Amino acid sequence: MRLNGETVAKGVLTVVAFSALASLLLIAVFIFKEGFPFMLKVGVGDFLFASTWNPQVGQYGIYPMIVSSLYVTFGAMLIGAPLGIAGAIFMNEFLPRPLMRVIKPTIELLAGIPSVVFGFLGVMVLAPFIRTHLGGPGLSVLAASVILGVMVLPTVISISSDAIGAVPNSYREGALALGATRWQSVHMVTLKAARSGIIASVILAMGRALGETMAVIMVAGNTVRIPHAVTDPVRTLTANIALEMSNATGMAREALFATGVVLFVVIMILNAIALSAMKGRGGKR
């Protein structure tokens, strides 16, 4: 009887263990099933590289959205990556332990702030500032980049910080014993040892920025066009999906799922790169 219960437990757990992987596959299958046939119908090249998006008359080019997403993500990285990596180094290497215990969870709070709140602040504070000081409508590539740059900070900080924390202390001691200053030991030894983890944090943050939706809808302006200045309004891939989803039917809806396919593929590639970079340092996650 007892042995029987044991077998049942193991059987159930084995099935349950597949829940995450199965969900991932289910998501992939359904997004592709809805979006991929459409891409073939319109032509993958036309879908990706035509620059007119007008579903009412059957024009489904997402090129401007791809470019906009890239600009905004790149801008976010320009802000989020240096700030986040600097924060992670400072907290791990220069901040006294007790202070770090207060500052780290405080910064992690950033991750908990709902994305809509970031978006709203972008609209109320950042966009007017850009409008008066730099011109343009305010809602722009720049506004979206700044907001996303701040939003990805917790990702960059916590993963970089783990990587830096995982560097054995003997490395630092070795450097210091050779007469290096604290900073020399950091940039010549610690950062080299933690490099793959730091790179992974930036790539994961790119995925976050690329995939963020609600905050971007609120601050990016949502005009479908290729931006020529950082103060131009743009519409990203994610914003395109969310904006048109509620009243799209038929072909138009399939087009949105096809946009989802593009997003899904790019983000999975970014994740795979980041995960393998993290595996690079001794399998520690």
Partner 1 sequence: MRVPPKFTQSLAVLVLGAATLLTVVVLVFIIAFVLVKGLPGVTWEFLSSPPKDMGKAGGILPTLVGTVLLPLLAIAIALPLGVGTAVYLTEYTRENPLTRALRFGTDCLAGIPSIIFGLFGFIFFVVMLKMGWCLLSGALTLAIMVLPTIIRTSEEAIRSVPNAYREVSFSLGATRWETVLKVVLPNALPGIVTGVILGIGRSIGETAAVIFTAGSSLRMPLSVFDSVRTMSVHFYILAREGISNENAYATAAVLIISVVLVNLAAYSMMHRFIAKRSK
Span 136-175, contacts to partner 1 by CB under 8 A: 150, 153, 157
Q: How far is the CB of 151 from partner 1 (least distance, A)?
A: 10
> 144, 148, 199, 210: which one contacts partner 1 (CB under 8 A)?
210
Considering only residues 3 to 32 of the shown chain, the ones binding partner 1 according to CB under 8 A are: 3, 5-6, 9-10, 12-14, 16-27, 30-31
Considering only residues 101 to 120 of the shown chain, the ones binding partner 1 according to CB under 8 A are: 103, 105-110, 112-120
Number of residues that bind partner 1 (CB under 8 A): 91
The two tokens of residue 119 are 């978006």
Neighbours of 110 (CB within 10 A): 16
Distance, in Å, from the CA atom of 51 to the CA atom of 227, rounded to the nearest integer, reads: 12
Q: How far is the CB of 20 from partner 1 (least distance, A)?
A: 4
Give me the residue label for tokens 């072909």. Answer: 251
Distance, in Å, from the CA atom of 47 to the CA atom of 33, rounded to the nearest integer, reads: 17
Containing H/E element for 151?
Answer: helix 141-151
Distance, in Å, from the CA atom of 274 to the CA atom of 36, rounded to the nearest integer, reads: 26
> 56, 132, 169, 181: which one contacts partner 1 (CB under 8 A)?
181
Binding mask 45-84 for partner 1 (x = CB under 8 A): -------------------------------------xxx
Q: Per rule CB under 8 A, is residue 123 in the interface with partner 1?
A: yes
The two tokens of residue 142 are 């720049």
Q: How far is the CB of 228 from partner 1 (least distance, A)?
A: 26
Binding mask 214-233 for partner 1 (x = CB under 8 A): x--xx---------------
Considering only residues 241 to 270 of the shown chain, the ones binding partner 1 according to CB under 8 A are: 241-242, 245-246, 256-257, 260, 263-264, 267-268, 270
> 47, 145, 190, 208: which one contacts partner 1 (CB under 8 A)?
208
Distance, in Å, from the CA atom of 115 to the CA atom of 156, rounded to the nearest integer, reads: 17
- Looking at this protein, which amino acid is placed at residue 199? I
Pick between residue 197 and residue 211 the one whose CB is nearest to partner 1.
Answer: 211
Collapse the DSSP code of 211 into the 3-class scheme (helix H, G, I; strand E, B; otherwise coil) and give the result.
Answer: helix
Containing H/E element for 107?
Answer: helix 97-112
Rg (CA), the chain: 23
Considering only residues 266 to 285 of the shown chain, the ones binding partner 1 according to CB under 8 A are: 267-268, 270-272, 274-275
> 64, 75, 87, 221: which one contacts partner 1 (CB under 8 A)?
87
**Residues counted in the chain:** 285
Pick between residue 61 and residue 84 the one whose CB is nearest to partner 1.
Answer: 84
Distance, in Å, from the CA atom of 203 to the CA atom of 16, rounded to the nearest integer, reads: 30
Pick between residue 57 and residue 109 the one whose CB is nearest to partner 1.
Answer: 109
Structural contact between residues 224 and 53, judged by C-beta atoms closer than 8 angstroms: yes
Write the CB contacts of 97 (distance below 8 Å, at least 6 apart in sequence): none
